[in-house]
Homo-oligomer: A and B are copies of this chain.
Amino acid sequence: MNIDQNTLSAFLTELMGESGVISETADTSRYTTDWSGERLGEPLLVARPRSTQEVAAIVGFCHRHQVPMVAQGGHTGLVGGALPDAERPELVISLERLNRIRDIDPLNFTLSVDSGCVLQTIKDAAAESDCDFPLSLGAQGSCQIGGNIATNAGGLNVLRFGMMRQLVLGLEVVLPDGRIWNGMHALHKDNRGYDLKQLFIGAEGTLGIVTGAMLKLFPKPETSRTALVAVPDVSAALALYAQARRSCCDLLCAFELIPRACLELALEAAPSLSDPLESAYPVYVLFEVAASGPVDLDAMIEHLFEKGMEDGHVLDGVLAANDTQANRLWQIREYMVEGQQHRGEHLRTDISLPISSLSEFYDEASRAMIARSPDTEIIAYGHIGDGNLHFNLLPPPDLDLAAKQALLHELEGELFAIVERYQGSISAEHGIGRVKQAPFLDGLSDLERELITGLKTLFDPDDLMAAGRILPRRA
Protein backbone atom coordinates (compact mmCIF):
# COMPACT_ATOMS: atom_id res chain seq x y z
CA MET A 1 0.00 0.00 0.00
CA ASN A 2 1.72 3.13 -1.19
CA ILE A 3 -0.82 5.68 0.09
CA ASP A 4 -2.22 6.46 3.52
CA GLN A 5 -5.73 5.80 4.69
CA ASN A 6 -6.75 9.45 4.40
CA THR A 7 -5.87 9.51 0.71
CA LEU A 8 -7.91 6.35 0.15
CA SER A 9 -10.81 7.81 2.12
CA ALA A 10 -10.66 11.06 0.13
CA PHE A 11 -10.67 9.14 -3.15
CA LEU A 12 -13.67 7.06 -2.12
CA THR A 13 -15.63 10.06 -0.83
CA GLU A 14 -14.90 11.99 -4.00
CA LEU A 15 -16.12 9.02 -6.04
CA MET A 16 -19.24 8.07 -4.11
CA GLY A 17 -20.04 10.82 -1.62
CA GLU A 18 -20.19 10.45 2.18
CA SER A 19 -22.68 7.58 2.11
CA GLY A 20 -20.30 5.52 0.01
CA VAL A 21 -17.61 5.25 2.69
CA ILE A 22 -17.73 3.95 6.22
CA SER A 23 -14.75 4.52 8.43
CA GLU A 24 -15.95 4.76 12.03
CA THR A 25 -15.27 1.57 13.94
CA ALA A 26 -18.79 1.66 15.34
CA ASP A 27 -20.24 1.47 11.87
CA THR A 28 -18.13 -1.38 10.57
CA SER A 29 -19.19 -4.15 12.96
CA ARG A 30 -21.65 -5.47 10.40
CA TYR A 31 -18.74 -5.91 7.99
CA THR A 32 -16.54 -7.91 10.33
CA THR A 33 -18.75 -10.91 11.10
CA ASP A 34 -20.53 -13.63 9.15
CA TRP A 35 -22.41 -16.85 9.86
CA SER A 36 -19.15 -18.72 10.34
CA GLY A 37 -18.96 -17.14 13.78
CA GLU A 38 -15.37 -16.17 13.09
CA ARG A 39 -14.18 -12.64 13.72
CA LEU A 40 -10.86 -11.69 12.22
CA GLY A 41 -9.72 -8.12 11.65
CA GLU A 42 -11.05 -4.62 11.21
CA PRO A 43 -11.41 -3.23 7.70
CA LEU A 44 -9.25 -0.38 6.51
CA LEU A 45 -12.49 1.24 5.34
CA VAL A 46 -15.75 0.04 3.84
CA ALA A 47 -16.63 1.17 0.32
CA ARG A 48 -20.24 0.91 -0.85
CA PRO A 49 -20.34 1.32 -4.64
CA ARG A 50 -23.67 1.66 -6.46
CA SER A 51 -22.52 0.72 -9.96
CA THR A 52 -20.14 -1.53 -11.83
CA GLN A 53 -18.22 1.56 -12.89
CA GLU A 54 -17.74 2.57 -9.27
CA VAL A 55 -16.51 -0.92 -8.40
CA ALA A 56 -14.08 -0.72 -11.32
CA ALA A 57 -12.84 2.71 -10.23
CA ILE A 58 -12.27 1.51 -6.66
CA VAL A 59 -10.50 -1.68 -7.71
CA GLY A 60 -8.40 0.19 -10.27
CA PHE A 61 -7.33 2.68 -7.60
CA CYS A 62 -6.48 -0.12 -5.16
CA HIS A 63 -4.50 -1.88 -7.87
CA ARG A 64 -2.46 1.24 -8.66
CA HIS A 65 -1.80 1.92 -4.99
CA GLN A 66 -1.42 -1.69 -3.86
CA VAL A 67 -4.33 -1.56 -1.42
CA PRO A 68 -5.52 -5.04 -0.35
CA MET A 69 -9.26 -5.52 -0.86
CA VAL A 70 -12.05 -7.99 -0.26
CA ALA A 71 -15.61 -8.04 -1.63
CA GLN A 72 -18.56 -8.66 0.65
CA GLY A 73 -22.10 -9.83 0.03
CA GLY A 74 -24.73 -10.74 2.61
CA HIS A 75 -22.40 -11.96 5.39
CA THR A 76 -23.89 -15.44 5.41
CA GLY A 77 -20.73 -17.31 4.46
CA LEU A 78 -19.69 -20.23 6.62
CA VAL A 79 -15.94 -20.27 6.04
CA GLY A 80 -14.96 -16.70 6.90
CA GLY A 81 -13.99 -15.94 3.30
CA ALA A 82 -15.38 -12.40 3.20
CA LEU A 83 -14.14 -11.27 6.62
CA PRO A 84 -11.35 -8.67 6.63
CA ASP A 85 -7.84 -9.95 7.23
CA ALA A 86 -6.50 -9.58 10.75
CA GLU A 87 -2.87 -8.96 9.82
CA ARG A 88 -2.99 -6.90 6.66
CA PRO A 89 -5.92 -4.44 6.76
CA GLU A 90 -8.14 -4.61 3.70
CA LEU A 91 -10.57 -2.30 2.02
CA VAL A 92 -13.96 -3.98 2.26
CA ILE A 93 -15.96 -3.49 -0.95
CA SER A 94 -19.56 -4.12 0.00
CA LEU A 95 -21.92 -4.84 -2.88
CA GLU A 96 -25.03 -4.07 -0.79
CA ARG A 97 -25.97 -0.97 -2.81
CA LEU A 98 -25.37 -2.62 -6.20
CA ASN A 99 -28.68 -4.42 -5.93
CA ARG A 100 -30.98 -3.87 -8.89
CA ILE A 101 -32.81 -6.48 -10.89
CA ARG A 102 -31.69 -5.41 -14.36
CA ASP A 103 -34.06 -7.30 -16.61
CA ILE A 104 -36.24 -10.36 -16.80
CA ASP A 105 -37.01 -12.28 -19.99
CA PRO A 106 -39.55 -15.04 -19.25
CA LEU A 107 -39.50 -16.45 -22.80
CA ASN A 108 -35.71 -16.82 -22.68
CA PHE A 109 -36.00 -18.04 -19.07
CA THR A 110 -33.34 -15.54 -17.97
CA LEU A 111 -33.00 -12.79 -15.41
CA SER A 112 -30.10 -10.34 -15.23
CA VAL A 113 -29.18 -8.79 -11.96
CA ASP A 114 -26.61 -6.78 -10.02
CA SER A 115 -24.50 -8.96 -7.80
CA GLY A 116 -25.60 -7.31 -4.55
CA CYS A 117 -29.22 -8.32 -5.05
CA VAL A 118 -30.60 -10.54 -2.26
CA LEU A 119 -31.47 -14.08 -3.36
CA GLN A 120 -35.05 -13.87 -2.08
CA THR A 121 -35.64 -10.70 -4.12
CA ILE A 122 -34.55 -12.58 -7.23
CA LYS A 123 -36.77 -15.54 -6.41
CA ASP A 124 -39.73 -13.19 -5.93
CA ALA A 125 -39.06 -11.36 -9.20
CA ALA A 126 -38.87 -14.65 -11.08
CA ALA A 127 -42.12 -15.84 -9.51
CA GLU A 128 -43.90 -12.65 -10.56
CA SER A 129 -43.07 -13.57 -14.16
CA ASP A 130 -44.38 -17.11 -13.72
CA CYS A 131 -40.81 -18.43 -13.49
CA ASP A 132 -38.66 -19.97 -10.81
CA PHE A 133 -35.11 -19.30 -9.73
CA PRO A 134 -34.51 -22.57 -7.93
CA LEU A 135 -31.52 -21.88 -5.67
CA SER A 136 -32.84 -22.42 -2.13
CA LEU A 137 -30.84 -21.88 1.05
CA GLY A 138 -31.55 -21.16 4.67
CA ALA A 139 -29.82 -17.82 4.13
CA GLN A 140 -31.90 -16.75 1.14
CA GLY A 141 -33.47 -13.79 2.92
CA SER A 142 -30.10 -12.10 3.31
CA CYS A 143 -27.46 -13.75 1.13
CA GLN A 144 -26.59 -11.93 -2.11
CA ILE A 145 -26.37 -13.52 -5.51
CA GLY A 146 -22.76 -12.36 -5.93
CA GLY A 147 -21.80 -14.34 -2.86
CA ASN A 148 -23.80 -17.32 -4.11
CA ILE A 149 -21.79 -17.17 -7.34
CA ALA A 150 -18.44 -16.61 -5.64
CA THR A 151 -19.04 -19.64 -3.44
CA ASN A 152 -20.91 -21.78 -6.00
CA ALA A 153 -23.75 -22.11 -3.51
CA GLY A 154 -25.69 -25.33 -3.16
CA GLY A 155 -28.67 -25.76 -0.84
CA LEU A 156 -31.82 -27.82 -0.94
CA ASN A 157 -32.60 -28.13 -4.65
CA VAL A 158 -29.23 -29.11 -6.13
CA LEU A 159 -30.55 -32.59 -6.81
CA ARG A 160 -32.82 -31.28 -9.55
CA PHE A 161 -31.39 -27.94 -10.61
CA GLY A 162 -27.68 -28.16 -9.88
CA MET A 163 -25.37 -25.87 -7.94
CA MET A 164 -25.14 -22.15 -8.62
CA ARG A 165 -22.67 -22.89 -11.45
CA GLN A 166 -25.42 -24.55 -13.47
CA LEU A 167 -27.70 -21.55 -13.02
CA VAL A 168 -25.34 -18.92 -14.44
CA LEU A 169 -25.40 -18.11 -18.16
CA GLY A 170 -23.36 -14.93 -18.06
CA LEU A 171 -21.26 -12.78 -15.74
CA GLU A 172 -19.91 -9.27 -15.47
CA VAL A 173 -16.71 -9.15 -13.44
CA VAL A 174 -14.30 -6.45 -12.30
CA LEU A 175 -10.84 -7.96 -12.56
CA PRO A 176 -8.17 -7.32 -9.91
CA ASP A 177 -6.65 -4.55 -12.05
CA GLY A 178 -9.97 -2.71 -12.32
CA ARG A 179 -10.89 -3.67 -15.86
CA ILE A 180 -14.46 -4.82 -16.48
CA TRP A 181 -15.03 -8.12 -18.24
CA ASN A 182 -18.45 -8.12 -19.84
CA GLY A 183 -19.62 -11.67 -20.25
CA MET A 184 -23.32 -10.96 -19.66
CA HIS A 185 -24.56 -13.29 -22.37
CA ALA A 186 -28.16 -14.50 -22.29
CA LEU A 187 -27.42 -17.62 -24.34
CA HIS A 188 -28.28 -21.15 -23.31
CA LYS A 189 -25.56 -22.53 -25.56
CA ASP A 190 -22.34 -20.76 -26.41
CA ASN A 191 -19.12 -22.54 -27.35
CA ARG A 192 -16.93 -19.61 -28.32
CA GLY A 193 -13.57 -20.66 -26.94
CA TYR A 194 -12.77 -20.96 -23.25
CA ASP A 195 -15.74 -20.43 -20.95
CA LEU A 196 -14.17 -17.67 -18.85
CA LYS A 197 -17.11 -17.29 -16.47
CA GLN A 198 -16.41 -20.75 -15.02
CA LEU A 199 -13.20 -19.36 -13.51
CA PHE A 200 -15.01 -16.84 -11.33
CA ILE A 201 -17.77 -19.16 -10.12
CA GLY A 202 -16.63 -20.73 -6.87
CA ALA A 203 -13.36 -18.76 -6.79
CA GLU A 204 -14.53 -16.99 -3.61
CA GLY A 205 -13.70 -13.55 -4.97
CA THR A 206 -10.00 -14.29 -5.41
CA LEU A 207 -9.94 -13.78 -9.21
CA GLY A 208 -12.30 -10.85 -9.59
CA ILE A 209 -15.43 -9.24 -8.18
CA VAL A 210 -18.67 -10.35 -9.79
CA THR A 211 -20.84 -7.26 -10.38
CA GLY A 212 -23.60 -8.70 -12.54
CA ALA A 213 -25.04 -12.04 -13.55
CA MET A 214 -27.35 -13.50 -16.15
CA LEU A 215 -29.31 -16.23 -14.39
CA LYS A 216 -31.17 -19.19 -15.77
CA LEU A 217 -34.83 -19.56 -14.82
CA PHE A 218 -37.25 -22.48 -14.88
CA PRO A 219 -41.04 -22.73 -15.12
CA LYS A 220 -42.72 -21.87 -11.84
CA PRO A 221 -44.03 -25.00 -10.10
CA GLU A 222 -47.81 -25.07 -9.96
CA THR A 223 -48.02 -27.94 -7.51
CA SER A 224 -45.69 -29.53 -5.03
CA ARG A 225 -45.89 -32.25 -2.43
CA THR A 226 -43.81 -32.75 0.67
CA ALA A 227 -43.53 -36.05 2.48
CA LEU A 228 -41.74 -37.33 5.54
CA VAL A 229 -40.93 -41.01 5.54
CA ALA A 230 -39.55 -43.18 8.33
CA VAL A 231 -36.95 -45.74 7.28
CA PRO A 232 -34.96 -48.31 9.27
CA ASP A 233 -31.48 -46.94 8.47
CA VAL A 234 -29.36 -44.84 6.11
CA SER A 235 -29.02 -47.72 3.70
CA ALA A 236 -32.81 -47.92 3.34
CA ALA A 237 -32.93 -44.15 2.86
CA LEU A 238 -30.58 -44.56 -0.09
CA ALA A 239 -32.58 -47.43 -1.58
CA LEU A 240 -35.63 -45.19 -1.34
CA TYR A 241 -33.68 -42.42 -3.03
CA ALA A 242 -32.81 -44.63 -6.00
CA GLN A 243 -36.47 -45.59 -6.31
CA ALA A 244 -37.65 -42.00 -5.88
CA ARG A 245 -35.40 -40.68 -8.65
CA ARG A 246 -37.16 -43.12 -10.99
CA SER A 247 -40.72 -43.08 -9.68
CA CYS A 248 -40.80 -39.31 -9.43
CA CYS A 249 -39.40 -38.82 -12.93
CA ASP A 250 -36.71 -36.48 -11.70
CA LEU A 251 -39.34 -34.06 -10.45
CA LEU A 252 -37.72 -34.64 -7.07
CA CYS A 253 -36.43 -31.26 -5.81
CA ALA A 254 -35.11 -32.21 -2.39
CA PHE A 255 -34.24 -35.41 -0.57
CA GLU A 256 -33.05 -34.81 2.99
CA LEU A 257 -31.79 -37.27 5.58
CA ILE A 258 -32.92 -36.59 9.17
CA PRO A 259 -31.81 -39.12 11.79
CA ARG A 260 -33.91 -39.25 14.97
CA ALA A 261 -31.36 -37.26 17.00
CA CYS A 262 -31.77 -34.36 14.55
CA LEU A 263 -35.56 -34.49 14.75
CA GLU A 264 -35.29 -34.33 18.53
CA LEU A 265 -33.08 -31.25 18.30
CA ALA A 266 -35.81 -29.58 16.25
CA LEU A 267 -38.50 -30.50 18.78
CA GLU A 268 -36.25 -29.14 21.54
CA ALA A 269 -35.78 -25.82 19.68
CA ALA A 270 -39.43 -25.37 18.73
CA PRO A 271 -41.86 -26.69 21.34
CA SER A 272 -44.72 -25.83 18.97
CA LEU A 273 -43.60 -28.65 16.69
CA SER A 274 -44.82 -32.14 17.41
CA ASP A 275 -43.48 -35.54 16.51
CA PRO A 276 -44.71 -35.99 12.94
CA LEU A 277 -45.45 -39.72 13.18
CA GLU A 278 -47.09 -41.74 15.95
CA SER A 279 -44.01 -43.72 16.84
CA ALA A 280 -40.37 -42.75 16.92
CA TYR A 281 -38.17 -44.19 14.16
CA PRO A 282 -34.38 -44.28 13.74
CA VAL A 283 -34.13 -42.34 10.49
CA TYR A 284 -36.38 -40.08 8.43
CA VAL A 285 -36.31 -38.77 4.92
CA LEU A 286 -37.94 -35.47 4.03
CA PHE A 287 -38.54 -34.99 0.35
CA GLU A 288 -40.35 -32.75 -2.07
CA VAL A 289 -41.60 -33.15 -5.63
CA ALA A 290 -42.83 -30.25 -7.70
CA ALA A 291 -44.29 -29.81 -11.17
CA SER A 292 -45.21 -26.89 -13.37
CA GLY A 293 -47.93 -28.76 -15.27
CA PRO A 294 -50.69 -31.31 -14.83
CA VAL A 295 -49.12 -34.32 -13.12
CA ASP A 296 -50.68 -36.46 -10.43
CA LEU A 297 -48.01 -36.04 -7.76
CA ASP A 298 -50.10 -37.81 -5.12
CA ALA A 299 -50.30 -40.93 -7.25
CA MET A 300 -46.57 -40.68 -7.86
CA ILE A 301 -45.77 -40.53 -4.15
CA GLU A 302 -48.28 -43.22 -3.23
CA HIS A 303 -46.67 -45.51 -5.79
CA LEU A 304 -43.30 -44.78 -4.20
CA PHE A 305 -44.67 -45.43 -0.66
CA GLU A 306 -46.19 -48.73 -1.71
CA LYS A 307 -43.06 -49.88 -3.46
CA GLY A 308 -40.99 -48.82 -0.43
CA MET A 309 -43.26 -50.66 2.01
CA GLU A 310 -43.09 -53.78 -0.15
CA ASP A 311 -39.30 -53.65 -0.29
CA GLY A 312 -39.05 -52.95 3.44
CA HIS A 313 -37.40 -49.56 2.97
CA VAL A 314 -40.36 -47.58 4.28
CA LEU A 315 -41.71 -48.08 7.82
CA ASP A 316 -44.19 -45.24 8.03
CA GLY A 317 -44.75 -41.84 6.50
CA VAL A 318 -46.89 -38.78 6.10
CA LEU A 319 -47.74 -36.87 2.95
CA ALA A 320 -48.53 -33.23 3.69
CA ALA A 321 -52.16 -32.57 2.74
CA ASN A 322 -51.62 -28.85 2.19
CA ASP A 323 -49.03 -26.08 2.27
CA THR A 324 -49.40 -25.53 6.01
CA GLN A 325 -48.62 -29.15 6.71
CA ALA A 326 -45.74 -29.05 4.25
CA ASN A 327 -44.31 -26.00 5.99
CA ARG A 328 -44.51 -27.74 9.33
CA LEU A 329 -42.50 -30.63 7.93
CA TRP A 330 -39.89 -28.24 6.55
CA GLN A 331 -39.74 -26.50 9.94
CA ILE A 332 -38.23 -29.69 11.33
CA ARG A 333 -35.37 -29.21 8.90
CA GLU A 334 -34.94 -25.55 9.88
CA TYR A 335 -35.31 -25.84 13.64
CA MET A 336 -32.90 -28.76 13.68
CA VAL A 337 -30.14 -26.33 12.68
CA GLU A 338 -31.33 -23.86 15.29
CA GLY A 339 -31.44 -26.56 17.97
CA GLN A 340 -27.85 -27.41 17.20
CA GLN A 341 -26.92 -23.73 17.56
CA HIS A 342 -28.62 -23.62 21.00
CA ARG A 343 -26.37 -26.39 22.28
CA GLY A 344 -23.39 -24.04 21.96
CA GLU A 345 -19.95 -25.10 20.80
CA HIS A 346 -20.18 -27.79 18.12
CA LEU A 347 -18.43 -29.05 15.02
CA ARG A 348 -20.13 -28.21 11.76
CA THR A 349 -18.95 -30.03 8.65
CA ASP A 350 -20.00 -30.05 5.05
CA ILE A 351 -18.76 -33.21 3.44
CA SER A 352 -19.75 -35.11 0.35
CA LEU A 353 -19.29 -38.69 -0.74
CA PRO A 354 -20.31 -40.91 -3.58
CA ILE A 355 -23.97 -41.62 -2.75
CA SER A 356 -23.28 -45.34 -2.93
CA SER A 357 -20.73 -45.03 -0.08
CA LEU A 358 -22.87 -42.88 2.21
CA SER A 359 -24.30 -45.66 4.32
CA GLU A 360 -20.99 -47.41 4.88
CA PHE A 361 -19.29 -44.09 5.56
CA TYR A 362 -22.02 -43.04 7.97
CA ASP A 363 -21.61 -46.20 10.00
CA GLU A 364 -17.84 -46.17 10.00
CA ALA A 365 -17.56 -42.49 10.86
CA SER A 366 -20.16 -42.81 13.63
CA ARG A 367 -18.31 -45.74 15.16
CA ALA A 368 -15.00 -43.89 14.99
CA MET A 369 -16.39 -40.77 16.67
CA ILE A 370 -18.08 -42.72 19.45
CA ALA A 371 -14.99 -44.88 20.00
CA ARG A 372 -12.96 -41.74 20.63
CA SER A 373 -15.60 -39.86 22.62
CA PRO A 374 -18.62 -41.92 23.71
CA ASP A 375 -20.58 -38.91 24.99
CA THR A 376 -20.26 -36.87 21.82
CA GLU A 377 -23.58 -36.63 20.02
CA ILE A 378 -23.67 -37.12 16.27
CA ILE A 379 -25.98 -34.81 14.37
CA ALA A 380 -25.55 -35.98 10.78
CA TYR A 381 -28.16 -34.77 8.36
CA GLY A 382 -28.04 -33.47 4.84
CA HIS A 383 -28.82 -33.44 1.19
CA ILE A 384 -28.21 -37.14 0.63
CA GLY A 385 -29.67 -36.96 -2.85
CA ASP A 386 -26.45 -35.10 -3.67
CA GLY A 387 -24.22 -37.18 -1.41
CA ASN A 388 -23.84 -34.14 0.87
CA LEU A 389 -23.82 -34.73 4.63
CA HIS A 390 -23.52 -32.19 7.39
CA PHE A 391 -21.88 -34.63 9.76
CA ASN A 392 -21.89 -32.44 12.86
CA LEU A 393 -20.82 -33.17 16.40
CA LEU A 394 -22.06 -31.92 19.78
CA PRO A 395 -19.36 -32.44 22.41
CA PRO A 396 -20.20 -33.72 25.91
CA PRO A 397 -21.93 -30.77 27.67
CA ASP A 398 -19.86 -31.11 30.85
CA LEU A 399 -16.55 -30.18 29.19
CA ASP A 400 -15.29 -26.62 29.38
CA LEU A 401 -14.98 -24.57 26.19
CA ALA A 402 -11.27 -25.22 25.65
CA ALA A 403 -11.70 -28.95 26.13
CA LYS A 404 -14.66 -28.99 23.76
CA GLN A 405 -12.68 -27.17 21.11
CA ALA A 406 -9.68 -29.45 21.48
CA LEU A 407 -11.87 -32.55 21.27
CA LEU A 408 -13.78 -31.29 18.23
CA HIS A 409 -10.57 -30.38 16.44
CA GLU A 410 -9.25 -33.86 17.00
CA LEU A 411 -12.51 -35.49 15.90
CA GLU A 412 -12.60 -33.33 12.81
CA GLY A 413 -9.17 -34.56 11.80
CA GLU A 414 -10.26 -38.14 12.30
CA LEU A 415 -13.47 -37.58 10.35
CA PHE A 416 -11.67 -35.92 7.44
CA ALA A 417 -9.24 -38.82 7.25
CA ILE A 418 -12.20 -41.16 6.80
CA VAL A 419 -13.69 -38.80 4.19
CA GLU A 420 -10.43 -38.96 2.28
CA ARG A 421 -10.36 -42.74 2.38
CA TYR A 422 -13.86 -42.78 0.89
CA GLN A 423 -12.73 -40.32 -1.81
CA GLY A 424 -15.09 -37.69 -0.53
CA SER A 425 -14.82 -33.92 -0.20
CA ILE A 426 -14.28 -31.89 2.96
CA SER A 427 -16.25 -29.06 1.42
CA ALA A 428 -19.31 -29.97 -0.59
CA GLU A 429 -20.94 -26.56 -0.71
CA HIS A 430 -19.52 -24.10 1.84
CA GLY A 431 -16.20 -23.51 0.11
CA ILE A 432 -12.73 -23.11 1.63
CA GLY A 433 -12.31 -19.48 2.70
CA ARG A 434 -10.08 -19.43 5.74
CA VAL A 435 -11.82 -21.91 8.02
CA LYS A 436 -11.26 -24.93 5.74
CA GLN A 437 -7.90 -23.87 4.39
CA ALA A 438 -5.66 -26.16 6.46
CA PRO A 439 -7.41 -29.45 5.60
CA PHE A 440 -7.88 -28.25 2.02
CA LEU A 441 -4.14 -27.68 1.58
CA ASP A 442 -3.42 -31.04 3.19
CA GLY A 443 -5.50 -32.76 0.53
CA LEU A 444 -4.07 -30.86 -2.41
CA SER A 445 -1.51 -32.47 -4.69
CA ASP A 446 1.59 -30.48 -5.65
CA LEU A 447 0.33 -30.30 -9.21
CA GLU A 448 -3.03 -28.92 -8.13
CA ARG A 449 -1.41 -26.37 -5.90
CA GLU A 450 0.80 -25.28 -8.78
CA LEU A 451 -2.20 -24.95 -11.12
CA ILE A 452 -4.38 -22.94 -8.77
CA THR A 453 -1.45 -20.75 -7.77
CA GLY A 454 -0.79 -20.19 -11.47
CA LEU A 455 -4.39 -19.13 -12.06
CA LYS A 456 -4.37 -16.80 -9.07
CA THR A 457 -1.11 -15.22 -10.23
CA LEU A 458 -2.40 -14.83 -13.77
CA PHE A 459 -5.41 -12.82 -12.61
CA ASP A 460 -4.00 -11.14 -9.52
CA PRO A 461 -0.20 -11.03 -9.72
CA ASP A 462 0.07 -8.67 -6.75
CA ASP A 463 -2.13 -10.85 -4.50
CA LEU A 464 -4.35 -7.92 -3.59
CA MET A 465 -7.83 -9.38 -3.98
CA ALA A 466 -9.22 -11.65 -1.27
CA ALA A 467 -5.66 -12.76 -0.57
CA GLY A 468 -5.35 -15.57 1.93
CA ARG A 469 -8.65 -17.19 0.98
CA ILE A 470 -8.40 -20.67 -0.58
CA LEU A 471 -4.60 -20.27 -0.89
CA PRO A 472 -2.43 -18.72 1.83
CA ARG A 473 -1.47 -15.09 1.36
CA ARG A 474 1.88 -14.65 -0.35
CA ALA A 475 4.60 -13.13 1.85
Contacts and interface: CB of A to CB of B under 8 A. Distances in A.
Interface of A: 105-110, 130, 151-152, 154, 158, 162-163, 165-166, 175, 179, 181-182, 185-196, 198-199, 201-203, 218-220, 222, 238, 242, 245-251, 291-296, 299-300, 303, 352-357, 383, 386-388, 423-432, 440, 443-445, 447-448, 451-452, 454-455, 458, 470-471
Contacts of A291: 249
Nearest to A424: B187
Please give the count of copies of this chain that the complex contains: 2
A292 B166 contact: no
A71 B445 CA distance: 26
B292 A245 contact: yes
A455 B190 contact: no
Contacts of A194: 199, 202-203, 451-452, 455, 470
Contact of A191 (B188, B189, B246, B432): B432
Contact of A448 (B196, B354, B470): B196
A110 B189 contact: no
A158 B188 contact: yes
A248 to B, nearest CB: 6
Interface of A is mostly: loop
Give the most central of A181, A238, A354, A443: most B CB within 10 Å. Answer: A354
Query: Which 8 A-B pairs give the minimum distances between C-beta atoms?
Result: A198-B198, A107-B356, A189-B428, A249-B291, A247-B293, A190-B425, A219-B246, A108-B356
A220 B188 CA distance: 25
Given A187-B387, A188-B388, A249-B295, 7 more contacts: A107-B242, A191-B202, A192-B443, A193-B432, A194-B470, A196-B448, A293-B303
Contacts of A238: 107
A185 B425 contact: yes
Contact of A425 (B192, B440, B445): B192
Nearest to A184: B423
A386 B189 contact: yes
B110 A292 contact: no
Contacts of A353: 187
Contacts of A151: 191
Contacts of A444: 193
B189 A154 contact: yes
A366 B196 CA distance: 32
Given A181-B447, A246-B293, A455-B458, A108 B191 contact: no
Contacts of A300: 293-295
Contact of A295 (B106, B220, B245, B295): B295
